[in-house]
A and B are shown apart, each in its own frame.
Chain A
């Protein structure tokens, strides 16, 4: 059975800290891994990763995929209170279906 597991499930840090969120997966036909940020409403897209070892960056956020060890990490440097959210990892495991398998999510709280 395909599955995606995120850790930790929740995290509390202070502004300025650096955090690392983890996502491991077991799927039969891996195509891509996606990270989303969810703040009370709909998830919004952050990154899509398809190739191993290539870092994607957007400002203070970055992510990398290791297809050999079947995991990805999402790093947030110099955290701000606006980074408080649920971070979701999802894997596309079948081509041309539009299906995503989501992990449980990591709830990040950044305190002033």
Chain B
């Protein structure tokens, strides 16, 4: 049972480039979320989804897009990368009952 899988683990982008961070879970969880983690700031919610076809903005959504076409996948798109998006990104999933979120291993992104 793989749990939550994120790819890639590391990525370096130039300012203005676009890319997609992949997230997949095999636990049939309804809810999925994307967080970014910056030094001294804990985890901040970017976007979340309560089911296939349903997404909503979190605390820091600007510069990011998401979609949820299947229960398993929740990709995060950076349309035009900026140095301020240099961060570690975590994807998480949870069932609807007890909100114990399970996290992927993270993607470390640097934007030059």
Contact assessment for A98 and B44 in the assembled complex, using a CB-CB cutoff below 8 Å: no
Q: Which 6 pairs, one residue from A and one from B, show the smallest C-beta to C-beta distance? A: A98-B31, A42-B103, A102-B42, A102-B43, A104-B42, A92-B99
Interface residues on B, range: 20 to 34
Interface residues on A, range: 20 to 34
Which residues from chain A sit less than 8 Å from chain B, CB to CB?
4, 6, 9, 31-32, 34, 41-45, 48, 88, 90, 92, 96-105
The answer to whether B40 has its CB under 8 Å from any CB of chain A is yes
Cβ 8 A contact of B50, one of A4, A90, A98: A98
Contact assessment for A99 and B106 in the assembled complex, using a CB-CB cutoff below 8 Å: no
A41 to B88: give the CA distance in the assembly, Å.
10
* Residues of chain A contacted by B40 (CB below 8 angstroms): 9, 104-105
A42 to B91: give the CA distance in the assembly, Å.
9
Contact assessment for B48 and A99 in the assembled complex, using a CB-CB cutoff below 8 Å: yes
